[in-house]
Copies of this chain bind each other. A is one copy, B any other.
């Protein structure tokens, strides 16, 4: 079919307009590129003295032994982790997720090169398919670890489009289907700290350097399917049509309005239709809907309103032609998250210590989901944000300055060490 939204490759098609720092990344979860970076992750952390474990979701845990090395399943003496992800959007940047992992590797290197002895084990975890871009549930593997998503559901999750491979098949194919159970009980963490780019405009606008992330807004993903009737574009009067694309267009435009009214967000990132011919009215359209708001209740309200208004848009009254049908499928649901006070305090103190200026540090709520959302259900958690130029993310021009990356990495290490000493 026509221009089926082909993902970008590793090389941008428009290098001439990009400076050296403006280079994108396309490393979909469990792709060959992902296998390569995973192999690098394991080699590197092993060379820094870590023991490496891979669980049934392909999550990779690199653990550097402390003075008291915990028993595998003992939470009291479990490792304090830094963590994030190495997968990207189809046309993503070089910072989202990747910064948190490279900063974690840096932390391990600094500890090793300076022969630092921590009280307990210290670890670094690379979570699988955080983005939800290839397998359409974001943070699915930290979700399994936290016991919030059933293992079999995640294993059977098919790549976007519904026709390709499952996560389990791809884990096997690239050799990352581990034997360790993906579970906070079998493989506990004492705490989880995540350094991440803000992906929004706030720190840059306020000229601040470190965001202390106190929580994450709620979001839900749906697939909406609109069914009308194929018909000839030249011979079918509007009054005899059930045009699934026209209805979907009205729904997308309406969801934007409703979200605006609630100071919330609504976005559609995927749309496909059939049969796909210039002179045939589409009989079927599927599109994704992503709604977000700080409060779960706001999402309840928006969902209810949209269900009602999509029904209206599909009805004879509104089409002035034939009825269409609409179906909703909820693909994922991430309630509003509030991080742990101890971790928030530690990040704030570390941020103030590293920047040397309270005014450069601010509390924030994350607009995006992160593996820390699920980690926080099972262990004390917080996150560190650094500025994103122009607030741009999920785009090859995503950029954070080397200084901000370095400050963030320093705050990450200090947070882990402060927690270790707690």
A238–B260 CB distance below 8 A? yes
Q: Kindly supply a per-residue 1/0 record for chain A positions 278-293, scoring 1 wherever the CB is within 8 Å of any chain B CB and 0 otherwise.
A: 1111110010101010
Q: Can you give 20 A-B contacts (C-beta < 8 A)?
A: A1-B5, A7-B274, A90-B275, A91-B275, A160-B276, A160-B278, A199-B232, A199-B235, A229-B392, A231-B394, A233-B292, A234-B290, A234-B292, A238-B259, A238-B265, A245-B252, A269-B276, A269-B278, A271-B271, A278-B288
Which residues of chain B are within 8 angstroms of A286 by Cβ–Cβ distance? Answer: 2-3
B132–A234 CB distance below 8 A? no
**A127 at interface (Cβ–Cβ under 8 A)?**
no
Residue of B nearest to A396 (CB): B230
How far, in whole Å, are A163 and B231 apart by their CA atoms in the complex? 26
Q: 5 tightest CB-CB pairs across the interface, nearest first?
A: A5-B276, A235-B367, A200-B235, A233-B267, A3-B272
- Quick one: which of B89, B138, B246 contacts A253, CB cutoff 8 A? B246
How far, in whole Å, are A280 and B231 apart by their CA atoms in the complex? 32
**A143 at interface (Cβ–Cβ under 8 A)?**
no
B271–A273 CB distance below 8 A? yes
B161–A231 CB distance below 8 A? no
The A377-422 residues at the B interface (CB cut-off 8 A) are 391-395
- Quick one: which of B4, B233, B281, B331 contacts A161, CB cutoff 8 A? B4
How far, in whole Å, are A253 and B251 apart by their CA atoms in the complex? 10
Which residues of chain B are within 8 angstroms of A131 by Cβ–Cβ distance? Answer: 277, 279
How far, in whole Å, are A260 and B331 apart by their CA atoms in the complex? 37
How far, in whole Å, are A366 and B234 apart by their CA atoms in the complex? 8
Name the distance in Å between A73's Cβ and chain B's nearest Cβ.
34
